[in-house]
Amino acid sequence: MEQAKAEGTDGFDGFVAARWSALFHLARLLCAGDRHRAEDLLQEALVKLWFVWPKVADEAPEAYVRKILARAAARSARRRWWGERPVEALPDLAHTGDESAAVVERSRLEAALAQLPPRQRAAVVLRYYQDLPEKQVAEVLGCPLGTARSHASRGVARLRQILADVIEPVG
């Protein structure tokens, strides 16, 4: 019994070691850049995965974790949180010689993603960052295909508006 359990967790441990970075980045995007919430969210998702590992190990464990992350992020966004409050403007980023434009652009995009409603954010991240097909995005979000398309379309349109406002402030 112990040996069978150890073999099952070896595959799980390998999966977590191999996919941790990508899953954590997905969780961060779903949590609007909040590193601590993302860590909690991913830990919760991996605990759920561990309990069903023997059933999903040979199928699609990453898809299962993505579904858990997207749904948990949307659910947690509905809860009221009394911790830190977001600010209107981000502080100026200190630029040293080794930072690249890609890091600044990624920060801008993450800040813009944080302004989207949770379902739109999840649809945009899953569709365009994770490059999932629309059908799979709908499955992960647990909604019809048309609704997933609508969330993604509206999310992208809102991102364009947010990013355009940052570049060219009105008024």
Position 93 pLDDT exceeds 80: no
Q: Which of 2, 3, 46, 56 is nearest to 22 (CA)?
A: 46
Scan for tokens 């390998």, then name that residue.
14
Tally of residues, the chain:
171
Q: Which of 48, 78, 66, 42 is nearest to 142 (CA)?
A: 66
Cα(170)–Cα(34) distance, rounded to whole angstroms? 28
pLDDT of 84 reads 58
Position 81 pLDDT exceeds 60: no
Q: Considering only 4-13, 79-88, 103-112, which range has the smallest mean pLDDT?
A: 79-88
**Mean pLDDT computed over every residue of the chain:** 82
Per-residue DSSP letter, 97: T
Cα(56)–Cα(29) distance, rounded to whole angstroms? 25
Q: What is the mean pLDDT of residues 78-90?
A: 61
Angle at 90 between CA 80 and CA 119, to 5 degrees: 40
Position 90 pLDDT exceeds 80: no
Cα(95)–Cα(41) distance, rounded to whole angstroms? 31
pLDDT of 1 reads 41
Residue of higher predicted confidence among 120 and 7: 120
Architecture of domain 10-78+100-167: Up-down Bundle (1.20)
Q: Which of 40, 72, 52, 59 is nearest to 9 (CA)?
A: 52
pLDDT of 95 reads 55
pLDDT of 32 reads 80
Binning the chain into helix, strand and coil, the percentages to the nearest 5 are 75, 0, 25
Contacts for 61 with CB less than 8 Å, ≥ 6 apart:
15, 49, 53
- Band of the pLDDT at 6, cuts 50, 70, 90? very low
Q: Considering only 25-29, 73-77, 152-156, which range has the smallest mean pLDDT?
A: 73-77
Cα(147)–Cα(135) distance, rounded to whole angstroms? 11
Residue of higher predicted confidence among 76 and 144: 144
* Residue boundaries of the structural domains of the chain: 10-78+100-167
